[in-house]
Amino acid sequence: VVAPTEAERELLKRSLGLHELALEDAARAGLPPKLDDYGDHLFLIAHSSQRAAHGGTRKLALFLSKHWLVTIAREPLELLDELRDRVRREPAVYFAHPDQLAHAVLVRLLDGFEERVDEIMDCVEELEDRALEGFARDVTHALLELRSQHASLLRTVRGQRDMVSQLARSTHPALSKRVQPYMRALADHTLRIYELLDDVRDNIAATRDAYLATINNRLSETMRVLTVIATIMMPLTLISGIFGMNFSRIPGLDSAWGFWATLAAMLAIAVAMLEWFRRREWI
């Protein structure tokens, strides 16, 4: 059911005995993943990797009993359309075993997170290459955006991990012994996705550090060149200042070669300083 009306929620409550609090949670936005036991059925909140209209990820509520599975989403989910096609191909399997269908839903949700993690990792690798190439104004903004996406994804997967772990340990009658090993495998897979997100966080931090180091190195190189230029100009400025003083008698001032000799001396000083800087490996 997608965006059920009040009448539809009331119908579900009367016909299947769904708890009023669970139906309210199913209709609310922004709730984290969780698992509640309502006696004859389980209530789960899971998230998909699809972006929600209000921000964050799209939520899916599942009501699971031995005889039926009800899903409620505030917004359409692509994975449900894919699962409907699978159910049509194998109706005997999924209609006979609601817990198996619930497992299929959770697996598809996790696949979506894995795909999203792969996309973020590809973006991080691309930004790392660009960061090492040199200064790019959009690298900082892109890294901040990736950090925000990663933090949101990490919070969601952490909640999903805890919820699936509870489900894997549950002995509720809605979960048959047949499906319990698959739920445990799903919990392990969710944990691996969470650990992978930890690696992504480290990669984002390393890319940021590499970019800042590249910028600092370029800035240091620029400052070194400017310092060399300023140092060379100091004696030249001194010479030009001396010959620019308002004295009527300055040696060589009236000489035909005085100007050219001064330029030659200034050039020689500049060349000598450059050679000295080169020998000291300052340039």
Residue by residue, pLDDT tens for the chain (283 residues) are 888 888 888 898 899 989 889 999 998 888 899 999 998 999 999 998 887 766 678 889 999 999 899 999 888 888 777 777 777 777 766 666 889 889 989 998 999 899 899 999 999 888 888 877 765 667 888 888 888 888 889 999 999 999 999 999 999 999 999 899 999 999 999 999 999 998 998 988 888 888 888 888 777 777 877 787 888 888 878 777 766 666 566 666 666 676 777 778 878 888 888 887 777 766 6
Tell me the residue length of the chain.
Answer: 283
- Which positions ≥6 away from 19 have C-beta within 8 Å? 38, 43
| Per-residue 3-state assignment (H helix, E strand, C coil) for the chain | CECCCHHHHHHHHHHHCCCHHHHHHHHCCCCCCEEEECCCCEEEEEEEEEECCCCCEEEEEEEECCCCEEEEECCCCHHHHHHHHHHHHCHHHHHHCHHHHHHHHHHHHHHHHHHHHHHHHHHHHHHHHHHHHCCCHHHHHHHHHHHHHHHHHHHHHHHHHHHHHHHHHCCCCCCCCCCHHHHHHHHHHHHHHHHHHHHHHHHHHHHHHHHHHHHHHHHHHHHHHHHHHHHHHHHHHHHHHHHCCCCCCCCCCCCCCHHHHHHHHHHHHHHHHHHHHHHCCCC
CA–CA gap between residue 150 and residue 138 (Å, rounded) = 18
pTM for the whole thing? 0.73
Cα 129 to Cα 13, 125, 207: the distances in Å are 55, 6, 9
Q: Are the beta carbons of 190 and 117 closer than 8 angstroms?
A: no
Q: Which residues of 193-232 are buried (b: 16+ CB within 10 A; e: fewer)?
A: bbebbeebbebbeebbeebeebbeeeeeeeeeeeeeeeeb
6-217 and 223-279 have identical folds = yes
Going by C-alpha positions, the residue among 282, 281, 273, 267 that lies closest to residue 225 is 282
- CATH code of the domain made up of 6-217: 1.20.58.340
Q: Are the beta carbons of 77 and 50 closer than 8 angstroms?
A: yes
CA–CA gap between residue 79 and residue 84 (Å, rounded) = 9
Domain ranges of the chain: 6-217, 223-279
| CATH class held by domain 223-279 | mainly alpha
What is the per-residue pLDDT for 143? 87
CA–CA gap between residue 228 and residue 162 (Å, rounded) = 60
pLDDT tens profile 52-70: 766 678 889 999 999 899 9
